Amino acid sequence: MSHVLTLNAGSSSLKFGLFETATDPVAVLTGLIDQIGGAATIKVKDAADETLAFAELSPEQAANHVGAVQASLEQIATYFPEARIQAVGHRIVHGGAEFSAPVEITDDVLGRLESFVPLAPLHQPHNLAGIAAAIEAFPEARQVACFDTAFHRQHSFVQDTYGLPRAYYDKGVRRYGFHGSSYEFISGAVAEIDPALHDGRVAVAHLGNGASICGIHGGKSVASTMGFSPLDGVAMGTRPGQIDPGVLLYLMSEENMSAAQISDLLYTESGLLGLSGLSNDMRSLLASDTVEAAQAIDYFCTRIRMEIGSLAAAMQGLDGLVFTGGIGENAAAIRAQICAGLGWLGIEMDNARNAAPDPRISTDNSPVPVMVIPTNEELVIARAAARLL
C-alpha cells in the first residue's frame, strides 16, 4: 500500500494528513500542531475523525516547523509503521503569476518559490520550511507544491490588476486571490451534487479565521475578494478586509507607524478581534452580549453581502451560493444574518434546513439555491500528489 503525506504549514500551525492512494486518496490519519514557537501541542485523529492522541511537544520540536514535521512523522510511525510515503503534497500560499496548477518541486521550482517570499512574507517562509523538512525526512519521495493562488490564475486582466501604472503589474503587483484548494474542492463537490449548477455562476464564501469569497463560473474562478495579499476583501478574525489605502498613508504620516507596525495592525489586531475588542473567534462573539461584539458580527455579515453583490456583478448574475470554512460550515446564525439581506438577489433561506444543512439551506422556491459544503483542502493536495505517482 502506498501513501502520500500532505503538509499545510501556517504561521504557527502545521496540519498533516496521511492518505492511502490505492484509489482516490483516503485519509487514514490527520493531525494538527498548534502554537509552534510557543507551548506547541499535537492532536492526531483517525479516519473516523476520532482523537487518537493529544500531547505537548518537546521544547526542541515545539521550536519551529522542522521540529513540528518531525513530531508529525513520529505519530505516523506510531500508528502506521508500515506506511510507504511516496509523495508529499505541500500547501504553498503563493505561486506568483506563473503557477496555475500543482507542480513537482525541483531545485529550479524551489528557487522560484523562494523568489515569492516578498509577496507573502508571513506565510511563504513557513511553507518553504515544511518542504525542507520533508525533503530531509523523505529524500526518495516526490515533493509536490499546490498553490493557494493557482485556481485564480485565469482571471481576466481587469480582475487581475489594480488601477496603478502598468509597471507595477509587470513587477507582480496583481490581484492573486487565495484559498484556491478550498475553491477547487467545493467546485468539484458542486459538480457532483448539482452538475447544472456547476456549469452556472456560483459564489463560494470560504469563511474561516481567514475569509474570502470567490465567484466561480463553469468551474473557473472569475473574481476573488482577496487580492495581492490575504488582507483584502471581507473582514476576518484579525484582518480588516477592504480598507482605503489612504488610511495607511495617514497612519504612516500622522501616527509615524512603521511598515512592521502596520503589518501587525492589519494581520493580527484588526477584523473581528479589533472591532469587538473581545475575540477573533466567532463562537465567542456569538456567545457575547456586548454591543461591540454585535457590531463586529454586523460588519462581518454586511461586508460579505456587499462582496456577494459585487461578485454577482462580475459574473453577470448568480445561480448559487455555497458556504464553507469553520464559520460558513458551523455558524447557522451567521449564515442566516448574511442571507437575510440577500432576498433581492433571489436568495430565500429555509430556517429549519439552515439548522441542519443537507447540504441545501434555501427553500425549494428560492430562485438561487444556497448550500453548506464542508471543505477539504488536504484531499485536493493529496490528489495532486497522488496524480504524480
Question: Is there a catalytic annotation at residue 107?
Answer: no
Q: Is the CB of 267 or the CB of 368 nearer to ligand ADP?
A: 267
Residue 354 annotated as binding site: no
DSSP per-residue letters across 41-75: EEEEEETTS-EEEEEEPPHHHHSSHHHHHHHHHHH
Q: Which of 201, 179, 203, 278 is nearest to 237 (CA)?
A: 278
Nearest approach in angstroms of CB 375 to ligand ADP is 8
Using alpha carbons, list the distances in angstroms from residue 243 to 131, 179, 270, 312, 335: 34, 20, 11, 21, 24
Based on the shown chain and the rule CB under 6 A, indicate whether residue 326 belongs to the binding site for ligand ADP: yes
Closer residue to ligand ADP (CB): 72 or 376: 376
Residue 256 is labelled as binding a ligand = no
- The CA radius of gyration of the chain, in Å to the nearest whole number, is 21
In the chain the first and final C-alpha atoms are separated, in Å, by 13
Between 188 and 227, how does the x/- string for binding to ligand ADP read (CB under 6 A)? Answer: --------------------xxx-----------------
Q: Tell me the CA distances in angstroms from 234 to 75, 245, 307, one per residue in order.
A: 37, 15, 7
For the window 255-284, what string marks contact with ligand ADP as x by the rule CB under 6 A? --------------------------xxx-
Reduce the secondary structure of 106-159 to three states and give it as a string: CHHHHHHHHHCHHHCCCCHHHHHHHHHHHHHHCCCCEEEEEECCHHHCCCCHHH
Strands (E), 148-302: 201-207, 211-217, 220-224
Smallest gap from Cβ 282 to ligand ADP, in A, equals: 4
Segment lying near ligand ADP (by CB under 6 A), choices 94-102, 113-121, 261-269, 325-333 = 325-333
Neighbour-count burial of 49, counting CB atoms closer than 10 A to its CB (0-12 exposed, 13-18 middle, 19+ buried): exposed
Give φ, ψ of 115 to 5 degrees.
Answer: -70, -15
Stretch that binds ligand ADP, among 114-122, 165-173, 186-194, 326-334 (CB under 6 A): 326-334
Does the annotation list 91 as a binding residue? yes
Answer yes or no: is 233 a known binding residue: no
Beta carbon of residue 275, minimum distance to ligand ADP (angstroms, whole number): 13
Q: Which is nearer to ligand ADP, 213 or 331 (CB)?
A: 331
Catalytic residue among 34, 46, 49, 148: 148
Q: Which stretch binds ligand ADP (CB under 6 A): 95-103, 159-167, 258-266, 321-329?
A: 321-329
Annotate 225-253 with b (16+ C-beta within 10 A) or e (fewer). Answer: bbbbbbbbbbbbbbbbbeeeeeeeeebee
- Which of 105, 190, 331, 379 lies at the binding interface for ligand ADP (CB under 6 A)? 331
Q: Which residues, at least 6 apart from 352, have a Cβ–Cβ distance to it below 8 Å?
A: none
Q: Is 112 assigned to a binding site? A: no
Q: Which is nearer to ligand ADP, 215 or 326 (CB)?
A: 326
Q: Residue count at the site for ligand ADP (CB under 6 A)?
A: 13
Q: Which residues are catalytic?
A: 148
Query: Binding site for ATP, residues?
Result: 15, 206-210, 281-283, 326-330
Query: Binding site, residues?
Result: 8, 15, 91, 206-210, 281-283, 326-330, 377
Query: Binding site for substrate, residues?
Result: 91
Residues near ligand ADP (CB under 6 A) are 208-210, 237, 281-283, 286, 325-327, 330-331
